[in-house]
Chains A and B, each alone.
Chain A
Amino acid sequence: MSELLWQALQQVQGYVYPNEIEVNWSILIVFYPYITGLVAGAFIVASLERVFKVEAVKPTYRLALLTALAFLLAAPLPLVAHLGHPERALEIMFTPHLSSAMAGFGFVYAWYLLIVLLLEIGYDYRKDVVKWARTKRGLKGFLYRLLTMGDYDISKEALKKDEKLVGIITVIGLPSAAFLHGYVGFIFGSVKANPWWSSPLMPIIFLFSAMVSGIALVLLIYMASTKLRGKKLDMKCTDTLAGYLLYTYVLDLSLEFMEIAHLVYVQEEGIDAILTLINDRLFLSFIVIQIFLGTIVPIFLLVMAKTGLFRATIRKIFYIFAALLAMIGVLAMRWNVVIGGQMLSKSFRGFSTYILPIFGIEGLLTAVAIFILPFVLLFIFVKVLPPWEEPPIWESTEHQAVEGNGEG
């Protein structure tokens, strides 16, 4: 670590306060808003069907919920790994300092996990879980019986109530998802010391970029899982999702534009440093990756797909590229905010350099491992709670099984 600081000292450009040579929020803090953004985005996809009655995206409803859960479980990891004293992490819940934007994390997280996601998934899957609990044996059967919590009532009446309850939870969940991520934006937006962060638009920009990345992620996972299972892709669903990706993208781009336009136009102290930051220090990650490859190109691809000039197979390729670029572009946006903001010295007279270590707790490998984890979790969730629309295996064996295992 110290070795990297000596290198960073050599690469200082202009004047930075001596304490600013160390870039304190590392790659892990880049991945934290990225992962929570994916949670919020995926949940919003799920609520498209529930709240806004977009029937076309139904095939992705449960998949999106499980994706949100998998990523939510991984979301605190980069934060805790980054702490100087991870063993004190729970203080944030035991003695939350209410004037701190960060103090809300524990409660927002717990609310979202326990009240929104788990309940929504639990009640939505209840019918299936009860059926599986009756038919499956062994460890899996035990798990399902545990998940029923001893209530096997799946009468028409009960299911109708469940349905209603899930509807209510989604309505609560939607603002919660927006809050979960908007609040992450506020953590940065409220730092008045840093002109690259300080902006009331920050929470909204974070939210829209979160929706972009979340929709793109669900789109990719949906397309990949359909392919892996050897099923036919529901093109209507894919087209609709891609349509929503385009709309949020346009909003995201306009918000980002407003933010930059405001910064450049009002010319507050530090604007020269910000312009150098954009045009020089962040040229590759901001102009090339975030704006051009990560925003303009995918918007172009999505618009092309919308024209109706292309066959489904071509559109599919467009979507894959657009979604992949969206994922990369939003990651670049997080990088530009987190790392870019720390490169800019608060003296507005120079720039620090962030040297990304490969190994070590705050290194690239840890970040990648933390990012792979939710995919592993998702794989397990999908195995335990298949989200697919077509009749799962239990239905074909249902009639024989119910006769044999008439408990409940």
Chain B
Amino acid sequence: MRKIHVRVAMVYIVIAIIFLIVRSFIVPPSFGEYGWYRGDSVSEIMNLSVKHAGSYSCSNCHQTEYKAWTTGKHSTVNCESCHGPLKYHVDDPGGSKVEVNATREFCGLCHNENPSRPEGFPQINLESHGNGFTCVTCHNPHYPWFD
């Protein structure tokens, strides 16, 4: 074996060893636990915070609205579809305020006439219907009526 070959080989071997040592420090311990990924990341994602609490969590405090809602035509529409994510409010009912968008445009998101919507879905012409009053003047959003 010539000197030069041995020296070159030594340099490469040293590089390879350094690589393996650094690798053993850097690769996260849970990598490969379940597959070719960092196992801990699954539980990290599972533990992300929930922001939509679900309609049932409203029932305790807002009994009147809840009862009306469950029997009305909007019963398929969950509380948070209109009121937005409310987990923060369920966690701290006293200390947080809930905003609600009661504009005509907001109701129009679902009910303004639009030919792409399914036939039979209740729609009105936002421009001609209701003389510009907000919808909630006549319709109770928790228990709506219409023909």
Contacts and interface: CB of A to CB of B under 8 A. Distances in A.
Binding partners A and B: yes
Interface stretch (A145-153, A251-259, A380-388): A145-153
Given A94-B23, A95-B31, A149 B12 contact: no
Nearest to B25: A94
B8 interface: yes
B4 interface: yes
A381 to B, nearest CB: 19
Interface string A355-376: 0000000000000000000000
For B4, B11, B19, the residue with the greatest tally of chain A CB atoms inside 10 Å of its CB is B4
Given A94-B23, A94-B26, A94-B27, A150 B3 contact: yes
Interface in B39-86: none
B2 to A, nearest CB: 7
Given A95-B31, A151-B3, A153-B3, A122 B26 contact: no
A160 interface: no
A158 interface: yes
Nearest to B19: A93
A90 B23 CA distance: 9
Contacts of A161: 2
B129 interface: no
A97 B8 contact: no
B36 interface: yes
Contacts of A102: none
Contact of B12 (A91, A114, A153): A114
Interface in B5-32: 7-8, 11-12, 15, 19, 22-23, 26-27, 31
Contacts of B12: 114
Contacts of A158: 2
Given A97-B36, A161-B2, A149 B7 contact: yes
Nearest to B3: A151
A328 interface: no
B112 to A, nearest CB: 22
Contacts, number: 33
Contacts of B7: 149-151
Contacts of A119: 8
B76 to A, nearest CB: 27
A149 B31 contact: no
Contact of A90 (B4, B26, B31): B26
A134 interface: no
B27 to A, nearest CB: 5
Given A97-B36, A114-B12, A119-B8, A151 B27 contact: no
Contact of A126 (B4, B22, B27, B31): B4
A158 B3 CA distance: 11
Contacts of A93: 19, 23
A161 B3 CA distance: 13
Contacts of B15: 114
A149 B14 CA distance: 15
Nearest to A100: B36
Interface in B107-141: none
A377 B49 CA distance: 51
A95 B36 contact: yes
Nearest to B8: A149
Contacts of B23: 93-94
A291 to B, nearest CB: 42
A93 B19 CA distance: 9
Contacts of B31: 95
A70 to B, nearest CB: 21
For B3, B11, B12, the residue with the greatest tally of chain A CB atoms inside 10 Å of its CB is B3
B26 A151 contact: no
Contacts of A153: 2-4
Contacts of B22: 94
A95 B2 contact: no
Interface of A: 90-91, 93-95, 97, 114, 119, 122, 126, 149-151, 153, 158, 161
13 contacts: A90-B26, A94-B22, A94-B26, A94-B27, A95-B31, A119-B8, A149-B7, A149-B8, A150-B7, A151-B3, A151-B4, A153-B4, A161-B2
Given A150-B7, A151-B7, 6 more contacts: A94-B22, A149-B3, A149-B4, A149-B8, A151-B2, A153-B4
Closest CB pairs A-B (n = 9): A151-B4, A149-B7, A151-B3, A94-B23, A94-B27, A97-B36, A94-B26, A149-B4, A95-B27
